[in-house]
Amino acid sequence: MQDIKTDVSTVISKARETVVPAKRRTLITKTHPLPTQLATPNDTPRFELYNADFSICSKKVRMTLAHKGLTYISHTVDIKYPAQENYNPDYVRLRLASDIAQKTGLATGYSGGSGVQETGFDALVVPTLVDVDNTAIIADSRLICLYLCSEVDGDDLLPSDIKEQVLSQLDIVDLFPHVALLYGANPDGDRRPPILREAMANVHEMKVAALNTVWDSVRGSDPMLDAAYAAKMAKEEAGKTFVGTAERMRATIASTEQLINEFGKTLTASGGPWCFGNRFTLADIFWIISLFRLEFLGYGWLWQDNTELHHISSYASAGYALNSMKSSVRHWPGFPPSEWVASWLPPNTK
């Protein structure tokens, strides 16, 4: 029997060669926190991250890496149609070689969220972390961030004495239906940036078309690949129905409002400035990224128009101002313009 670690090494090498062109493989360091320095064969950091510019899950991981000051190679995956590099068979094989893929069923339904615990495993999304030293593949943003906290010295983001409380906050953030809020319009007034409204108008149809093209090129060659593509196809068909149904979108927005209201209570109880008083944790990274996405999409009114939740605005502003947030999210290239967060984006974001 072939050694499993050898198989994983082959999968990692193949993905490195074929998924992302060299011009989008960059070395991220403390002194070069933005993807401006091309990676070379001589660059061999421990971690490599397959991520997408605008992906909310990628942002959580990038901010965690930035907060810890870790060096890594960023493989910037083009997840837009028609490129859809996340559908590349070698990338799908990479994710299928992760531990979570072996333990979790494939996602075929659609809840509007992206949490694996709620929806199942999607083998065709970002981000994916490769730990080169340990020949390990971690394929879920929550698990990636927890892995970084466990593998890298220091418990600053996941203090042992409040670990369970922090994990509970991560679970709550994973309940946010960020995917549905991005792809679907608010039937009672769409505030999403115009560029996104246009891009998302037929997004599920475009994804299905891209899936068919890639799947046809490998159909029947690997049962695991066939299962992954079939599950993704079912998920996208379900997503199209979900975001096109006004009642489901209203329920989605209502559940988001409820989560925000509960977070307001959490902040009040903590006394601020962070979720756990003066201790900045992984929970704060997840909340800051989520609030920024909501505000970007025009849902800042959920707390800004409620006088009892104005402390969330103060919390959000403090989080947005962090250097780790600035480098990994706000100033990371590829951020579409939005009038709702224009003051936080580079002046040339048009």
Residue 26 lies in a domain: yes
In a domain, 350, yes or no: no
Asked which of 157, 176, 198 is the last residue of a domain, the reply is 157
Choosing from 157, 180, 215, the residue where a domain stops is 157
Are both 299 and 277 inside the same structural domain? yes
**10 shares its domain with 138:** yes
| Burial of 167 (C-beta count, 10 Å sphere; 0-12/13-18/19+) | middle
Per-residue pLDDT of the chain (350 residues; tens, 9 = 90+): 344 456 999 999 999 999 999 999 999 999 999 999 999 999 999 999 999 999 999 999 999 999 999 999 999 999 999 999 999 999 999 999 999 998 988 988 888 776 666 678 999 999 999 999 999 999 999 999 999 999 997 778 999 999 999 999 999 999 999 999 999 999 999 999 999 999 999 999 999 999 999 999 999 999 999 999 999 999 999 999 999 999 999 999 999 999 999 999 999 999 989 999 999 999 999 999 999 999 999 999 999 999 999 999 999 999 999 999 999 999 999 999 999 999 999 987 75
267 shares its domain with 332: yes
Instruction: Sort residue 313 into left (φ over 0), alpha (ψ -120 to 50) or beta.
Output: alpha
Same domain, 227 and 120: no
> Taking a C-beta distance cutoff of 8 angstroms, is the pair 215, 124 a contact?
no
Query: Domain range holding 25?
Result: 4-157
**Cα angle: 139, vertex 119, 94; to 5 degrees:** 25
- How many domains does the chain divide into? 2
Asked whether the beta carbons of 69 and 331 are under 8 A apart, the reply is no
Whether residue 205 is found in the same domain as residue 115: no
Question: Which CATH number covers residue 100?
Answer: 3.40.30.10
Q: Does residue 349 lie in a domain region?
A: no
Residues 88 and 174 in one domain: no
